[in-house]
Amino acid sequence: MSLSRRSLLAKVGATLAGVLAAPIARTAKAAVQKVLVSTGAAKGYDPTKHKWAMAIDANRCIGCGLCGEACKKENHVPEGPYYRTWIERYIITKPRPGTGAARGETLVDCPEGGMHGFPPAPVAKEEIQHSFFVPKLCNLCEHSACVQVCPVGATFDAPDGAVLIDPKYCIGCGFCIQACPYGCRFLSPATKTAEKCTLCYHRITRGLKPACVEVCPTQARVFGDLKNPLPDDPIQQFYQNNRVQALKPHLGTEPRVFYAGIDKEVR
Amino acid sequence: MTSEITNYVFEAMPHFEGYVYPNEATQQPLWGVLIVLYPYITGLVAGAFIMASLVRVFNVRALEPVYRLSLLTAFAFLLCAPLPLLFHLGHPERCFEVMMTPHLTSPMAIFGFVYAWYLMAVLLLELWLDYRRDFVEWSARTAGFKSILYRLFTVGVTDVSEPAVKLDHKLGHVLSIIGIPSAFLLHGYVGFIFGSVKANPWWGNVLMPIIFIMSAMVSGIALCVFNYMVLSWVRRKTIDMKCLDVMCMFLFYALVVDAAIEALDWIHRVYSAEEGFQVMQYMAREKLFYTLNLGQATLGTLVPFLLLGSLQLFRRHVPELGRRRMYFGSALLILCGVLAMRWNVVIGGQLFSKSLRGVMSYKMEFAGLEGWFMGAVLFSLPFIILTVMIKLFLSEQKPK
Confidence tier at B99 by pLDDT (50, 70, 90): confident
Mean pLDDT of B383-389: 96
pLDDT digit string (tens) for B279-326?
999 999 999 999 999 999 999 999 999 999 999 999 999 999 999 999
pLDDT digit string (tens) for B25-82?
988 899 999 999 999 999 999 999 999 999 989 999 999 999 999 999 999 999 999 9
| Facing A192 at nearest CB: one of B26, B90, B198 | B90
Mean pLDDT of A18-34: 68
pLDDT digit string (tens) for A197-215?
999 999 999 999 999 999 9
Contact B357 A267 (CB under 8 A): yes
pLDDT of residue A33: 60
Confidence tier at B362 by pLDDT (50, 70, 90): confident
Task: Answer yes or no: are the C-beta atoms of B190 and B42 closer than 8 Å.
Answer: yes
Rounded Cα distance, B177 and B342, in Å? 28
For chains A and B, CB pairs below 8 A equal 128
Rounded Cα distance, A41 and A58, in Å? 30
Residues of B in contact with A108 (CB under 8 A): 19, 355, 357
Reported for B106-113, long-range contacts at CB under 8 A and 24+ positions apart, including other chains, are B106/A148, B106/A149, B106/A150, B106/A151, B106/A152, B106/A175, B107/A149, B107/B189, B107/B192, B107/B193, B107/B196, B108/A149, B108/A151, B108/A173, B108/A175, B108/B193, B109/A151, B109/A152, B110/B189, B111/B189, B111/B190, B111/B193, B112/A151
pLDDT digit string (tens) for B197-236?
999 999 999 999 999 999 999 999 999 999 999 999 999 9
Quick check: A1 pLDDT over 50? no
Contact A81 B22 (CB under 8 A): yes
pLDDT of residue A31: 62
pLDDT of residue B8: 53
Closest CA to B255 of B297, B203, B194, B227: B297
Residues of A in contact with B196 (CB under 8 A): 149
Contact B91 A192 (CB under 8 A): yes
pLDDT of residue B15: 74
pLDDT of residue B111: 85
Q: What ipTM was reported for this prediction?
A: 0.90
Residues of A in contact with B105 (CB under 8 A): 148-149
Sign for the pseudo-dihedral over CA of B123, B129, B134, B139: positive
Q: Find the helix or strand (DSSP H, E) in which A106 lies.
A: strand A106-109
Task: Answer yes or no: are the C-beta atoms of B224 and B69 closer than 8 Å.
Answer: yes
| Facing B101 at nearest CB: one of A106, A153, A250 | A153
Quick check: A6 pLDDT over 90? no
Per-domain residue ranges of chain A: 43-80+135-267
Residues 6+ apart with CB under 8 A from A207: none
Chain A interface, best mutation among B91, B98, B101, B110, by max A CB count within 10 A:
B91
What angle do helix axes B64-80 and B241-272 make, rounded to 10 degrees? 50
What fold characterizes domain A43-80+135-267?
Answer: Alpha-Beta Plaits (3.30.70)
pLDDT of residue A40: 81
Segments in B118-240 forming alpha helices (H): 125-141, 144-154, 162-195, 208-234
Residue of B nearest to A180 (CA): B199
Confidence tier at B87 by pLDDT (50, 70, 90): very high
Reported for A233-239, long-range contacts at CB under 8 A and 24+ positions apart, including other chains, are A235/A53, A235/A54, A235/A55, A238/A55, A238/A57, A239/A55
Rounded Cα distance, B151 and B135, in Å? 7
Q: How close A82 comes to chain B (CA, Å)?
A: 5
Residue of B nearest to A182 (CA): B354
Rounded Cα distance, A88 and B224, in Å? 52
Rounded Cα distance, B24 and B351, in Å? 9
Quick check: B192 pLDDT over 80? yes
Confidence tier at B400 by pLDDT (50, 70, 90): very low
Rounded Cα distance, B343 and A200, in Å? 38
Mean pLDDT of B5-13: 51
Contact A110 B30 (CB under 8 A): no
